[in-house]
Copies of this chain bind each other. A is one copy, B any other.
Amino acid sequence: MRTIDVRTDRRTEFVEITADVRRVVREAGLTDGAVAVYCPHTTAAVTIQENADPDVVHDLLLWLNHHIPKNVAGFRHAEGNSDAHIKSSLVGPSVLVPVAGGDLVLGTWQGVYFCEFDGPRSREVKVQTIGNNS
């Protein structure tokens, strides 16, 4: 298992980590199987989204921030970041990407994104290769 370090600059932000994940797969020599990209934080997440037009992740963040605001009547968590925890569980803590022919099986427009919901912070992403023929 390998760790990718991610530095975020804003409270909510998507950071593409496709190249880092691809490098882990190649260094592990995995030819066939899958790779788990796992977020060990409860106020962040990992997703797959379009990486051609940055407006796509802009619009995704706009929707999330509008529908899951920071302050909601009834929220109890004293840290005041319940919105980040909710976004984390809805987007999800991990993605599993198939690996074939020694590379990630991503669609033409797909990238792997670290999703910051309570930054700026120094974060980690855990990348575990799972091989069929290792």
Contact surface of A with B, Cβ cutoff 8 Å: 1, 32-34, 36, 38-42, 47-50, 53, 55-56, 58-60, 62-64, 66-68, 72, 74-79, 82, 85-86, 88-100, 105-110, 126, 128-134
Query: A42-B49, A47-B89, A85-B59 are known contacts. Are A36 and B96 too (CB-CB below 8 A)?
Result: yes
**Docked-complex contact B94 and A96, CB < 8 angstroms:** yes
What are 6 A-B interface contacts by the 8 Å CB criterion? A40-B106, A53-B77, A56-B77, A62-B74, A66-B72, A100-B128
Query: A53-B77, A76-B55 are known contacts. Are A131 and B132 too (CB-CB below 8 A)?
Result: yes
**Docked-complex contact B128 and A98, CB < 8 angstroms:** yes
Q: Once the chains are docked, how many angstroms separate the CA of A98 from the CA of B36?
A: 7
Residues of B within 8 A of A64 (CB): 86
**Docked-complex contact A76 and B98, CB < 8 angstroms:** no
Partner of A82, one of B39, B48, B56: B56
Residues of B within 8 A of A79 (CB): 53
**Docked-complex contact B38 and A96, CB < 8 angstroms:** yes
